[in-house]
Amino acid sequence: MLKNRSLIDPMDFTTEELEDIFKLANLIIENPKEYKHICDGKILATLFYEPSTRTRLSFETAMMRLGGNVVGFSEPNSSSVSKGESLADTVRVVSNYADIIALRHPLEGAAKVASMYATVPVINAGDGGHQHPTQTLTDLLTIKCEKGSFNNLTIGLCGDLKFGRTVHSLIKAMSRYKNNKLVFISPKELKIPHYLIEDYLDKNNIEYRSEEDLENAIPDLDILYMTRIQKERFDDIDEYNRLKDVYVLNNEKLKNAKKDMVILHPLPRVNEIDPEVDSDNRAKYFKQAEYGMYVRMALMAKLLGVM
Amino acid sequence: MLKNRSLIDPMDFTTEELEDIFKLANLIIENPKEYKHICDGKILATLFYEPSTRTRLSFETAMMRLGGNVVGFSEPNSSSVSKGESLADTVRVVSNYADIIALRHPLEGAAKVASMYATVPVINAGDGGHQHPTQTLTDLLTIKCEKGSFNNLTIGLCGDLKFGRTVHSLIKAMSRYKNNKLVFISPKELKIPHYLIEDYLDKNNIEYRSEEDLENAIPDLDILYMTRIQKERFDDIDEYNRLKDVYVLNNEKLKNAKKDMVILHPLPRVNEIDPEVDSDNRAKYFKQAEYGMYVRMALMAKLLGVM
Amino acid sequence: MLKNRSLIDPMDFTTEELEDIFKLANLIIENPKEYKHICDGKILATLFYEPSTRTRLSFETAMMRLGGNVVGFSEPNSSSVSKGESLADTVRVVSNYADIIALRHPLEGAAKVASMYATVPVINAGDGGHQHPTQTLTDLLTIKCEKGSFNNLTIGLCGDLKFGRTVHSLIKAMSRYKNNKLVFISPKELKIPHYLIEDYLDKNNIEYRSEEDLENAIPDLDILYMTRIQKERFDDIDEYNRLKDVYVLNNEKLKNAKKDMVILHPLPRVNEIDPEVDSDNRAKYFKQAEYGMYVRMALMAKLLGVM
């Protein structure tokens, strides 16, 4: 049962529970009108202690498309934080006003604390560099809808694999499915942390390999998940200059990719995907944002217990 | 008739008019579904020239739970103030867009001015250190619901009684009811202003006494209303250090309190109530926030004339 | 057909298309209840990269009064801009969430770019000093409703005619109608740009004359459109001091005006109209703001194709 639960960590739900959410998301996608009143009278509070427009708008439109309403704030200035109130007290008060809370906070663990004091479900909409579980649900629903399955896939993860939290969460999530192969494409400065390999991949017998060159890696891939590489992550500026173009996806690099490969990106992108790729029908990163709204609709409907 | 009236000062309404509001609030609490469409098509504008998240969210969810919609701003930056427009012009324009206005403003008297120019009801949601009438309505509804009556109560008011506007408004409001006793618990720096005693208590034959020690005062009380004491209010830092713990409510100090005493606080609290008290069933300050939403629902329904 | 179109420039629509919008606006004004659910389930995104409270609230209440919902942001801080995302990407993502976008942006041409990438209609809610087409629609609907026609009018335009974008747009718009006379009332520093005379007035045989004195110009006018004059526009401070009171409209200056002259102003006003004029029944600038909401209702209904 997902009713009245909170979602703090991407691994909080079993694969069966996730399956329930994805099934509902699919039903909503197929027939949105059927679901446009299931949250009538419900209120979502979006408590964003740091700005994140895309995530906030996705949550808010998701609730509205189910018939519910939204209140909240989008920046810490307008919050009671400035008056010294604890997060625990804030969520207790807001629990009286709203039926569900989406919390974004710069501190790791803030969503966990909030869920301990709130009397309504709390969804972690990002806590520092820590967790962002609805991004992981978005990625999974996109894979499910675009590839039909969570199994037998070769998935390339490209860019900053050291610090990128969405990539870490996706690796953990995919480690629960079968017969997938992961290809880690990154400069050596930004390699995947060893604990992920040990605790998730080796433990579950997930095949993986590392590549430094995106073009070399592409031909095998069913999915290419791009992320941003930031200049400031490099110790050696020459190394950055040598590598910076290697990780920019463009039409040239896509020449040897499979015809049905799917290109994903959590957005916002800066320059790691050339805009010329946008018109390639393998580019699914804007569609991915749409799936993000649908998966949040399904998630909130489940946590509120209306479906 | 409350229809089309504004609420600027906590004493604007007669006790009979307040009774109408509290009666409706109670009906809404008992059967919220009956009232979820009474404001369909109505729009509340929350014009917050200074941030106050709790108050704003309370108003906004109140309107939404009646079926209405909300527009507005939560900070002066995003307002037209920066273009030099007068408050009078702003409320005249907003009167064309919205059906009712909740105004928060740093200047005393701003709400009064707004109500003179608006063509729709204006609710003062706080004007400087001056008035905050919906907090008083919240306090009164809480007392009504938790103690069953506005009469025959011994009410302790603890903390900063000199500058605390919510306490002053509550004293004025309670001076209109019968057989109550007030106990003022404060350091000598923060004593209740004499005009309140003269103009409200003596004039209405309200019994009162002063205490410097919270623990001494507690055993008699039916209601304990806590407020924040700020260090910067003290002339003498030694005095502050001597007193600071005296006014922190904890389980120890509650030992000799009545079993059905009610603990209130306008929130946000900083450290004047130890979190250990939160689980005591006499702690009603979070419930009080919930009553605040219900009383705003009843108030807006009355001012809009839909009930 | 206006369905799925964007509105970027005030001249984007033919006079016939505008007529359709004004006709619908009039129907809504006459019978708002008939239209209160025509946008049920629709979502407007107000993307305001610079604050403009009045315009934003007008759009938002317009959508709500049609039954729709609103998401968005009111300042750049809370947007993804800070993460370096391009406007093109932002509107592509938001197109997945919302059904129509109102965009306010400090850069000229931003709305045009947005409309090229969005997959839903984009309404330019102001792009720098460039265009603000819904203000022009507001002005036109006000003229239509208050004077009954777009023809045979003598229209005085007063104030900063050099930089005032609303005045420029109104001149272009009126140049498409018949038998109007324009009177330009401004100091020589702030004269109407020559290209407007050449390309719009002379080309369409529109009669016009210039005046430096407001009081001299007033007796002929059917409409007086006031705008703000800013001190910083003057090269010569003595010139400013000589002229500053000449352009402040007050009851004295209105003595020789026609009894049915209509006074307009795009608002906010600072001091160019004395508040004593507000109670004159020729003062229509607050009513104009109300027409602004109605014309936005009609516009959005047309672009969404629900009417």
- Tell me the chain A residues in contact with residue C73 when contact means C-beta distances shorter than 8 Å: 53, 74
Residues whose CB falls within 8 Å of the CB of residue C222, separated by 6 or more in sequence, listed in order: C147, C153, C154, C155, C258, C260, C261, C262
Question: Does the CB of C51 have a partner CB in chain B at under 8 Å?
Answer: yes
- Given an 8 Å threshold on Cβ–Cβ distance, is B53 in contact with A79? yes
CA distance C92 to chain B (A): 25
User: Do β-strands A154-158 and A223-226 pair in parallel, antiparallel, or remain unpaired?
Assistant: parallel
Distances in whole angstroms, Cα of residue B130 to Cα of each of B51, B115, B165, B167: 16, 16, 7, 12
Chain B and chain C share a number of CB contacts under 8 A equal to 63
- Residues contributing to the annotated binding site of B for L-aspartate: 83, 165, 228
Out of A69, A73, A85, the one facing B64 most closely (by C-beta) is A69
Which 3 state secondary structure label does DSSP give B196?
helix
**Higher-confidence position of B74 and A242:** B74
**Cβ of A80 and B269 within 8 Å?**
no
> Contact partners of C by the rule of 3+ C-beta pairs under 8 A?
A, B
Sketch out chain C's domains with CATH numbers. Answer: 36-131 (3.40.50.1370), 134-288 (3.40.50.1370)
Which pLDDT score, from 0 to 100, does residue C110 have?
A: 95
Active site residues of A: 54-55, 83, 104, 132
What interface predicted TM-score (ipTM) does this complex get? 0.94
CA C70 to chain centre: 21
- CA A54 distance to own-chain centroid: 12
Give the 3-state DSSP-derived string for chain A, with helices as H, strands as E and coil as C.
Answer: CCCCCCECCCCCCCHHHHHHHHHHHHHHHHCHHHHCCCCCCCEEEEEECCCCHHHHHHHHHHHHHCCCEEEEECCHHHCHHHHCCCHHHHHHHHHHHCCEEEEEECCCCHHHHHHHHCCCCEEEEEECCCECHHHHHHHHHHHHHHHCCCCCCEEEEECCCCCCHHHHHHHHHHCCCCCCEEEEECCHHHCCCHHHHHHHHHCCCCEEEEECCHHHHHHHCCEEEECCCCHHHCCCHHHHHHHCCCCCECCCCCCCCCCCCEEECCCCCCCCECHHHHHCCCECHHHHHHHHHHHHHHHHHHHCCCC
Over residues A169-196, mean pLDDT: 95
The two tokens of residue B112 are 């009064």
pLDDT reported for residue B84: 64
Residue C152's H or E segment, with its range, is: none
Task: From chain C, pick out residues whose CB is under 8 angstroms from the CB of A270.
Answer: 84-85
pLDDT at A299 over 90: yes
Cβ-contact B101, B70 below 8 angstroms: no
Is A97 at the interface with chain B, CB within 8 A? yes
- Inform me whether the pLDDT recorded for A137 exceeds 90: yes
What does the pLDDT read at residue B81?
A: 54
Query: Nearest Cβ partner of B290 from A41, A72, A96?
Result: A96
Give the CA radius of gyration of chain A: 20
A24-82 confidence digits (pLDDT tens): 999 999 999 999 999 999 999 999 999 899 999 999 999 999 999 999 999 876 555 55
Amino acid sitting at position C140: L
Name the least confident of B242-246, C46-50, C154-158. B242-246
Q: For residue C235, name the pLDDT band (cuts at 50, 70, 90).
A: confident
How confident is the prediction for chain A on average, in pLDDT? 94
- Looking at residue C27, its amino acid is L
CB-CB neighbors (< 8 A) of B42 in chain C: none
Per-chain mean pLDDT for chain C: 94
For B277, which DSSP code?
G
Q: Which residues, at least 6 apart from B234, have a Cβ–Cβ distance to it below 8 Å?
A: B187, B189, B240
Closest residue to C96, CB basis, from A36, A64, A286: A286
Q: In the beta sheet, which residues pair with residue A224?
A: A156, A263
Q: Compute the average pLDDT of residues C136-160.
A: 97
pLDDT tens digits along B110-169 = 999 999 999 999 999 999 877 999 999 999 999 999 999 999 999 999 999 998 889 999
C84 confidence band (pLDDT: 50, 70, 90): low
- Summarised one tens digit per residue, pLDDT across range C163-216 is 888 999 999 999 999 999 999 999 988 999 999 999 999 999 999 999 999 999
B71/C70 touch (CB, cutoff 8 Å), yes or no: yes
What residues of C are in contact with residue A141 (Cβ under 8 Å)? none
Contact state of C74 with B72 under an 8 Å Cβ cutoff: no
Residues comprising chain B, all counted:
307
CA torsion sign for C196, C202, C203, C206 is positive
